[in-house]
Structure 1
Amino acid sequence: MGFLSSITSLFSSNTSEAATTAAEAASVAYNGFIITPAPIAEGGQFRVAATITKGEDDTLQTHQFIRSDLVGSRDECIEITIRKAKMTVDQLADTLFN
């Protein structure tokens, strides 16, 4: 039975580890927006994702930013996420929240 359980463990995921590695990264202020990278662990890679916000309290607007890009390293994913989120802010500005 030990052999089968070791094979099974190779193909199962550790959800607590995935949750830890996919935790949000430090926020970045950009042109009045706050970009908070939140890479999503997926099959040993990380999906480009972030939350883009603007405003405070009653005027706070939020947009979930998720891309199809998968990256091998969490740190590289965060860099790509920030770059792509900045491009999105530049292209869409406040219409991002419509």
Structure 2
Amino acid sequence: MSFFKKLFGGGGNAEPEGDKVLGEESYKGFLIKAIEMKAGSELQLAGTIEKDVGGETKTYRFIRADRMSSMDDLVSLALSKGRQIVDEQGDGIFR
């Protein structure tokens, strides 16, 4: 029975851990965060974009194929990609 609980998500009391934020910035009313996503010995480009909409915090998560070993490069590129997404889509990312 425990196999089926694990398979279908039952029986676990652990909450999923939050993303480890490596860097963040405010941009045009949005909060962009570079988050840690390990891919083997490298870091994969990932982040979140947040905005308060009607009293509720909306979050958009993006993951790209780019991988790198430098955390500084990752943060810089993730924040840049977040700004690009905001410029291209604005509030439309939350639809």
TM-score by length of 2: 0.73
Structure 1 segments (4+ residues) deviating >4 Å? none
Q: Classify the secondary structure of the residue corresponding to 1:60.
A: strand
Instruction: Tell me how many residue pairs correspond in the alignment.
Output: 77
TM-score by length of 1: 0.71
- Alpha-carbon RMSD across the aligned residues, in angstroms, is 1.8
Identity of aligned residues (%): 27
Q: What corresponds to 1:15 in structure 2?
A: none
Instruction: From the two aligned structures, give the one with the greater helix fraction.
Output: 1
Instruction: From the two aligned structures, give the one with the greater strand fraction.
Output: 2
Alignment of 1:38-49 (within 5 A): 38-49=35-46
Label 1:26 to 1:57 Cα distance change in 2 as closer, same or farther (>3 A): farther
Structure 1 position 57, deviation (Å): 8.0
Rounded to whole Å, the distance in 2 between the matches of 1:94 and 1:56 is 9
Unaligned runs of 5+ in 2: 1-18
